[in-house]
Amino acid sequence: MKIGFLGAGNMAGAIIRGMVQNGFASSSILCFDIDAQKTFALREECGIGVCQTAEQLCEEAQVVVLSIKPQVFSSALPPLRAILAVQRPLIISIAAGKTLASVADLVGDTLPLVRVMPNVAAKVGEAVTAYCSNALVTQRHVETVYKIFESVGTVVPLNEAQFGIFSVLASCSPAYTLLYMNALSTAGVRDGLPKDVALQIVAQSVLGTAKLLLESGEHPEALIDSVCSPGGTTVEGICALHEYGLENAVLQAARASLEKDKKLQNA
């Protein structure tokens, strides 16, 4: 089975690297991008096949991953519609903000179509990826989606109506978390640590805490209580975070991102 990537940007590159590192044969992966340097760089790094045109990719691939920018969908996809109708590949779209219906309008509504949303942590194999699909997608297609995207992290099925809040929790939250991590490392600098050392300490602490939460199965509040000794330093900091409104700030940030997502969807 040939898997073709239409577009060789950062996310496509991260997925391709993850696939190759996790057992996909390089010969089973194709790529095309109007910027030939991107595809040649991926060929040099990963050994994948490079197509000369988008039409060639659609003719040769049984799975076509739409990894071009959302704003060029309307110009790039209609010329491929006739070829796709004949070849009938599984179409996987990773474009933010493009619904199943909007993609089907461009590629045809007789094709199996999956909408996928990975996040930036795909670059290090720790993405969380949501997917939804149309009625033409079979269990075998779903297995293909899992095989591709589990090579860069975790995959979760969602209703398409939940993609907006998923994008907040998965795609926006890394920036929220990095803001917190930078602030905490700045506190380390204020009290004498070099910035690089402070960042290393904070990053490992966040990584370890996330792993603890996932592997313990405990509620975050139970884990918080477990490290808050009576009259200790941690509970004093927690009280300050409550006083200065950390939780409310996070809730407001998530709401603002979700409202912006809705505006972009309706634009």
Percentage, residues of the chain above pLDDT 70: 99
> Taking the model in full, what pTM does it have?
0.89
pLDDT at 164 over 80: yes
Q: How large is the average pLDDT for residues 78-85? A: 96
pLDDT at 111 over 70: yes
- The CATH class for the domain spanning 3-158 reads alpha beta
pLDDT at 96: 85
Q: What is the mean pLDDT of the chain?
A: 95
pLDDT at 214: 94
pLDDT at 4 over 90: yes
pLDDT at 187 over 80: yes
Q: How large is the average pLDDT for residues 183-198? A: 98
pLDDT at 267: 60
The partner residues of 132 in beta bridges, in order of sequence, read 115
pLDDT at 23: 93
The residue type of 27 is S
Distance between CA atoms of 230 and 241, rounded to whole angstroms?
17
Percentage, residues of the chain above pLDDT 90: 94
Question: What is the enclosing helix (H) or strand (E) of 29?
Answer: strand 29-32
Using DSSP's 3-state secondary structure scheme, residue 109 falls into coil
Are the C-beta atoms of 93 and 107 separated by less than 8 Å?
no
Q: What is the pLDDT of residues 59-74, one digit of tens each?
A: 999 999 999 998 999 9
Q: Do domains 3-158 and 165-266 have the same CATH topology?
A: no
pLDDT at 264 over 80: no
Write down the domain spans for the chain.
3-158, 165-266
Fold of 165-266: ProC C-terminal domain-like fold (1.10.3730)
Whose tokens are 């603002």? That residue is 256
Are the C-beta atoms of 80 and 51 separated by less than 8 Å?
no
Q: How large is the average pLDDT for residues 10-24? A: 95
